[in-house]
Amino acid sequence: MNENISIVGGAGFLGTKLSSILSNANVKHKTFDISFDESSSNFVDVENIDSLEKLKNSSVIINLAAVHRDDIKPISRYDDVNIGGAKNICSCASKYDINTIIFTSSVAIYGFAPKNTGEDGNPNYFNDYGRTKYQAELIYKKWQSENPKDRTLVIIRPTVIFGEGNRGNVYNLLNQIYRKRFVMIGKGDNVKSMAYVDNVASFIKYSLNKNSGTYIYNYIDKPDLDMNSLVKLIRKNLFQKDNVGLRLPRFLGLIVGYFADLISFISRISLPISSIRVKKFLSNSMFSSKISETDFEPPFNLTDGLINTIKYEFIEDNKNNKKFYSEW
């Protein structure tokens, strides 16, 4: 196992889980994050190349740092952090002869992709998050190609990540159903690939000892669920009800989304619903992965991950525990 592993963005949702898994396995590592006090030895800002000097004794850099919400202003923040950060990480790695980088990209690079899109799928991003993640991948690939015999690059493209304590898309769905504010839009036969945080973190750990080369993996927990099955599973575990509840036709859902766009534009207030979020809800986001060709075994199946999250968030008393706000 590689030692002196540096996790950049290590105080976030995925980084915190990864650090816990590495600690439990007695793997030497250190977490760095912009959220730490600037005087701390753990403070790192990927936009500030001087702060990356703290990584100089690393053998592996795992870069989880990113701007990833879909409502960031100004838009230049995506470029500054996601692209500028990649350039700075690569410069640091080159300067200090750090030969392994693991980078968490995203299936957002594929945009509204055909079902079962694999790692060879064409980039077709529809937002700045997907665009800058893809451009960051190109920067890391260039870094690896400059010394291909010695350098190892692992690019992991997770689908939407969920788990205990996260305040992202899956939690929002769970919370809407729990508060009985959820309305199904459309037929509900569209499929959503998802990823449980424990499994993604475990796969990053699994990837630490790759030989030199470039490796790209979509991360998805199988089997995928369509929206009807997902909502039924949630409602069964919350209310012991095996149905989806209220349903709105597709065209009406889109009208509501566009109306919300107009209100948001006029009021300059970001609303929890928008046309792009309705379109994302209605879309298929079903991917395949070359991970199935490896011997990696996720510690949890998707259903167990969802049930664990439901129990943690809505049945057990964990309201005082740390929350992570994101939109992966």
**Contact present, 305 and 199 (Cβ < 8 Å):** yes
How many C-beta atoms lie closer than 10 Å to residue 168's C-beta?
A: 20
β-bridge partners, 8: 32, 63
Which comes out higher in pLDDT, residue 36 or 67? 36
What is the reported pLDDT for 146? 98
pLDDT tens digits, one per residue of 152-164:
999 999 999 999 9
* Cα–Cα dist 70/85, whole Å: 18
pLDDT bin (cut points 50, 70, 90) of residue 181 is very high
What is the reported pLDDT for 1? 54
* Cα–Cα dist 119/2, whole Å: 26
pLDDT mean across residues, the chain:
94
pLDDT bin (cut points 50, 70, 90) of residue 74 is confident
Using the predicted structure, report yes or no on whether residue 291 has a pLDDT greater than 90.
yes
What is the reported pLDDT for 158? 97
Using the predicted structure, report yes or no on whether residue 70 has a pLDDT greater than 70.
no
pLDDT tens digits, one per residue of 91-100:
999 999 999 9
**Contact present, 9 and 66 (Cβ < 8 Å):** yes
Query: What is the CATH class of 5-166+192-223+286-299?
Result: alpha beta
* Cα–Cα dist 326/129, whole Å: 13
Kindly state the average pLDDT of the residues 111-125: 94
Per domain, the residue ranges of the chain are: 5-166+192-223+286-299
Which sequence positions are flagged as catalytic?
129
Query: Half-sphere exposure of 96 toward its Cβ, with a 13 Å CA cutoff?
Result: 19
- Amino acid making up residue 199: N
What is the reported pLDDT for 328? 39
Kindly state the average pLDDT of the residues 302-316: 97
Share of the chain above pLDDT 90, in %: 87
Backbone angles phi, psi at 247, to 5 degrees: -135, 140
- Within 220-272, residue ranges assigned H as helices are 227-239, 250-267
pLDDT bin (cut points 50, 70, 90) of residue 316 is very high
What is the reported pLDDT for 25? 96
Which comes out higher in pLDDT, residue 264 or 326? 264
